[in-house]
Chains A and B, each alone.
Chain A
């Protein structure tokens, strides 16, 4: 009974049922006066407008075209070639260039004649070497052409077959000869090959 009284005293503002069947129960202990709430800066949430799918597509296409334009601009500036170390003069030597300059030496007439004669002899030797090579290649080429001509006269089908690309020829790999024959029962030492080339990005 006291329990009920306690509950009732805390819930004293119990509305009398006005209309039959309706019940209004509130748990407010103090009456609702006028109050000022905190200033809430945000607006109430906006309703998301349903964008026309065409507009979405247009916006995406515009973005894409912009990116493509930038790509085209970057591609126009020809890319930088990686520097080839063996073809560039080391910076240390460029700094020393003043020390490294040789004085101009006058060469006597006899020395110049000797040098000219040496140049001539060397070029004549190299020319003979070159002619020998070219003649060798050309002999093989003419023999090949003659053989193909004869084959064509003999049978067009066989010529067509002979002239086809050999798929087993390319890719082709070859290693140069070795200076010394292999050492019998050679035990090669254990070791490692570490690639230390500079990686660009």
Chain B
């Protein structure tokens, strides 16, 4: 419905990089349609906001794979809403000597985390997309595709103590006032 569809952007930027055969289809489609035609919703049901989370211990591999997933989604005509990096999980892995708790080796490893958020993924496109993603999965990387929850985006932010105390006070007074 908006004029600035991905197809138009792609044409503006340069056709070579994201040369996909879906751009020709977009070009032939009418660019503006009255809103009431789409009022009853899409014909093919769509998944809610999905997060494709890529996790792994090797930073370069994780980063490159996440970029590839992003590009593949764009080439397949899927709406990529957002993609971000979550701070890594740091692990201290200790191996013990056999039959004792004496530490033999101590490793410091970091598990890196990248997410690509997809919006309005049609149900017929999803299986093909997942198959393509799996086919390109490198060693030592694991992916998890799940619907987006508010906690997933809240983890990225530093919690605000002031805000928390104010909300606690409000809760004690008996919830927000209805206007």
Contacts and interface: CB of A to CB of B under 8 A. Distances in A.
Interface of A: 60-61, 63-65, 67-68, 70-71, 74-75, 79-87, 127, 130-131, 133-134, 137-138, 140-141, 144, 148, 162-166, 169-179, 189-198, 200-201
Contact of A193 (B22, B93, B112, B160): B93
Interface of B: 16, 19-22, 43-47, 50, 56, 59, 72, 75-76, 85-96, 98, 104, 108, 110, 112, 123-128, 130, 132-134, 137-147, 155-163, 166-167, 169-170, 173-174, 176-177
Contacts of A164: 45, 123
Contact of B170 (A71, A137, A148): A71
A138 B22 CA distance: 8
B93 to A, nearest CB: 6
A94 B79 CA distance: 38
Given A67-B169, A83-B87, A193-B93, A163 B44 contact: yes
B122 to A, nearest CB: 9
Q: Which of A127, A171, A198 has the most CB of B within 10 A?
A: A171
Question: Which residue, of B21, B98, B138, B147, has the highest number of chain A Cβ atoms within 10 A?
Answer: B21
B88 A163 contact: no
Which secondary structure characterizes the binding site on chain A? mixed
Closest 4 CB pairs of A and B: A79-B157, A191-B95, A172-B145, A171-B146
Contact of A138 (B20, B44, B85, B142): B20
B123 A79 contact: no
A134 B19 contact: yes
Given A169-B127, A170-B147, A190-B96, A67 B87 contact: no
Contacts of B95: 189-191
B136 to A, nearest CB: 9
Contacts of A137: 72, 75-76, 128, 132
